[in-house]
Structure 1
Amino acid sequence: MSDKPLLEDEDILRLYAGGVRDFTGYELSINQIVNTNLSGVNFSGLDLSESYLEGSNLSGANLSGTLFNSACLDGANLSGANLTDAGLSMATLWNANLTGANLTGAYLGSAEIARSNLTNASFIGANIEHIFLKENIYRNTIWIDGSIRNE
Structure 2
Amino acid sequence: MFDNKLLKGYAAGERDFSGTDISGANLRDCNLSSINLSGANLRECNLASSNLCGANFSTAKLIKSDLGGCNLRDSDLTGADLTGAHLGAADLTGANLTGANLTGALLLCADLRDTNMNGANLSKSNLYGASLSNVNLCNALLENANLIDANLEGRINLINASVTGAFFKVSTLGADLNGANLSKANLCGANLSHSNLTNADLSLADLEGANLSEANLTRANLTGANLIGLDLSGANLTEANLSSTDIVGADLKNVIFCNTIMPDGSIFSSN
TM-score (norm 1): 0.89
Identity of aligned residues (%): 38
Q: Secondary structure at the match of 2:9?
A: helix
Q: Secondary structure at the match of 1:148?
A: coil
1:2-151 alignment runs, 5 A limit: 8-145=2-139, 148=156
Cα distance, 1:21 vs. partner? 0.3
Which whole-Å deviations, capped at 9, do the CAs of 1:99-147 have from their partners, x for residues lacking one?
Answer: 0000000001111101111111111100111111110112211114377
**Residue pair 1:112, 1:132 contacting (<8 A) in 2 also:** yes
Cα distance, 1:92 vs. partner? 0.5
Describe the shift of the 1:25–1:116 C-alpha distance in structure 2 as closer, same or farther (beyond 3 A). Answer: closer
The two structures, once aligned, show a CA RMSD in angstroms of: 1.8
Q: Secondary structure at the match of 1:134?
A: coil
Q: Secondary structure at the match of 1:83?
A: coil
**Residue pair 1:28, 1:48 contacting (<8 A) in 2 also:** yes
TM-score (norm 2): 0.51
Describe the shift of the 1:52–1:71 C-alpha distance in structure 2 as closer, same or farther (beyond 3 A). Answer: same
Aligned counterpart, 2:149 = none
Gaps in structure 1 of 5+ consecutive residues: 1-6
CA distance in 2 between partners of 1:45 and 1:58 (Å): 16
Q: Secondary structure at the match of 2:16?
A: coil
**Residue pair 1:125, 1:145 contacting (<8 A) in 2 also:** yes
Q: Secondary structure at the match of 1:93?
A: coil
CA distance in 2 between partners of 1:15 and 1:104 (Å): 29
Describe the shift of the 1:58–1:30 C-alpha distance in structure 2 as closer, same or farther (beyond 3 A). Answer: farther
Cα distance, 1:9 vs. partner? 1.8
CA distance in 2 between partners of 1:98 and 1:122 (Å): 10
Cα distance, 1:28 vs. partner? 2.4
Gaps in structure 2 of 5+ consecutive residues: 141-154, 158-170, 173-271
CA distance in 2 between partners of 1:67 and 1:104 (Å): 15
Q: If each structure's strand is expressed as a fraction of its own residues, which one has the higher value? A: 1
CA distance in 2 between partners of 1:30 and 1:144 (Å): 33
CA distance in 2 between partners of 1:52 and 1:127 (Å): 22
Q: Secondary structure at the match of 1:141?
A: coil
Cα distance, 1:30 vs. partner? 4.7
Describe the shift of the 1:49–1:29 C-alpha distance in structure 2 as closer, same or farther (beyond 3 A). Answer: closer
Q: Residue type of the partner of 2:156?
A: I
Question: Higher relative contact order at CA 8 Å, sep ≥6: structure 1 or structure 2?
Answer: 1
